[in-house]
Amino acid sequence: MKFHRTLVRHVVLIIVSFLMVYPVLWMFFASFKPEDQIFANPNLLPAHWTVSHYTESISGKAGINFGPMFLHSLEIALLVVVGSIFSGSITGFAFARMEFTARKFLFGFMLGTMMLPAQIVIIPQYIIFHRLSLVNTFVPLILPSFLGTGSFFIYLMVQFIRGIPKDLDEAASIDGCGPFRLFLHVIFPLTFPAIITISIFAFYWTWNDLFSQAIYLTNPNLFTVPIGLSSFLDNMGNSMWGDLFAMSIISLIPVLVVFVIFQRYLVEGIATQGLK
């Protein structure tokens, strides 16, 4: 009886997993079909295989050079990860461990900013960066992460640090550690699960961020992956579906690699927040 229940459970999970993965599989095989066969051929597997969608898009023969866009997105995402870890860990340590005037008010104000839609914040930010002549550069997309604008990351780090015993702080103080050395040598190494969680979320959100990147970047030489993918769609009905699917598959590779490598740490980091 137990064997039958296990078998039924596995069959149901396999069917549900296939239904969830099927759109990605269809897009993957469609990227190897000739343009005129993508929607005309109802079969999942192509009748005639071609890699022209990949080679033309990466080399720029299709009119859109996707190679530099991929590198631009990777550069921005990695720098945002570094900035999010830097600002989130320092600010989280200050809120969780240090006593200063208006600490509770500032922490509550920071939490309040999490409720603001990004569309509201982007307008004053754009005005500031425009007056500083930083539009059409990567600075508006990277600099805010170093200035502690990631309220969610700060909140996550605060909750994690609060779960670290304060006995460590007292022991470090007895040994002569000041606040900076306490953070750098004691607290920061213990926040590894939270750091991995911040890194994954910051990478995902930046990699898929079309809204901000489309606002700040209008120079084609600075376009990123989300802007490049949207460029394959033409309002006049001349959309390059094969190239779009091919580059969508390529854009999924960094996301899948990050998830496969760090999924254990991601689950551990989120679970740790709930336990603490």
Q: What is the residue-level pLDDT of the chain in tens, covering all 276 positions?
A: 677 788 888 899 999 988 888 888 888 888 888 888 888 877 788 888 888 888 877 776 666 778 888 899 999 999 999 999 999 999 999 998 888 888 888 888 888 888 888 778 888 899 999 999 999 999 999 999 999 888 889 998 998 888 888 888 888 888 888 888 888 888 898 888 889 889 989 999 999 998 899 999 988 889 999 998 888 776 545 677 888 888 888 888 888 888 888 777 766 655 554 444
The 8 Å CB, 24+ separation contacts for 142-145 are 142/76, 142/79, 142/80, 142/83, 143/83, 144/83, 145/79, 145/80, 145/82, 145/83, 145/84, 145/87, 145/202
Q: Give yes or no: residues 13 and 84 share one domain.
A: no
Last residue of a domain, one of 30, 58, 86: 58
114 & 214 share domain? yes
pLDDT given at position 140: 94
Query: Are 106 and 13 found together in one domain?
Result: no
Specify whether 81 is located in the same domain as 53.
no
Determine the pLDDT at residue 236.
45
pLDDT for residue 269? 54
* Position 136 in a domain: yes
Last residue of a domain, one of 58, 91, 106: 58
CATH of residue 181's domain is: 1.10.3720.10
Does the residue 25 lie in any domain?
yes
Residue 84 resides in a domain: yes
**Count of domains forming the chain:** 2
Provide the token pair at 248. 């969508």
Domain check: are 51 and 178 in the same one? no
- Specify whether 23 is located in the same domain as 138: no
Residue 209: half-sphere exposure toward Cβ, Cα within 13 Å:
23
Please tell me whether residues 38 and 145 are part of one structural domain. Answer: no
- Identify how many contiguous H helices and E strands the chain contains and give both numbers: 14, 0
Tell me the torsion sign for CA atoms 130, 135, 141, 144.
Answer: negative
Task: Let me know whether 111 and 52 are in one domain.
Answer: no
Letter for the amino acid at 35?
A: E
Per the domain annotation, does 144 fall within a domain?
yes
State the burial class of residue 218 (Cβ atoms within 10 Å of its Cβ: 0-12, 13-18, 19+): exposed
Dist. CA 218–CA 80, nearest whole Å = 20
Do 255 and 207 sit in the same domain of this protein? yes
For residue 63, being part of any structural domain is answered with no
Q: What is the DSSP letter of 220?
A: G
Helix axes 241-275 and 66-97, enclosed angle (nearest 10): 10
Q: What is the pLDDT of residue 266?
A: 65
Q: Are residues 126 and 196 in the same domain?
A: yes
Q: Is residue 9 part of a domain?
A: yes
- Among 58, 81, 98, residue at a domain's last position: 58
Q: Are 57 and 40 in contact (CB under 8 A)?
A: no
The answer to whether 141 touches 80, Cβ cutoff 8 Å, is yes
Amino acid symbol at 188: F
pLDDT for res 272: 52
Residue in this structure with the two tokens 């394959």, named with its chain if needed: 232
Looking at the structure, do residues 44 and 145 belong to the same domain, yes or no?
no
Question: What domain range is 75 assigned to?
Answer: 68-275
Residue 107 belongs to a domain: yes
Would you state the pLDDT for residue 276? 46
In a domain, 137, yes or no: yes
Residues 85 and 117 in one domain: yes
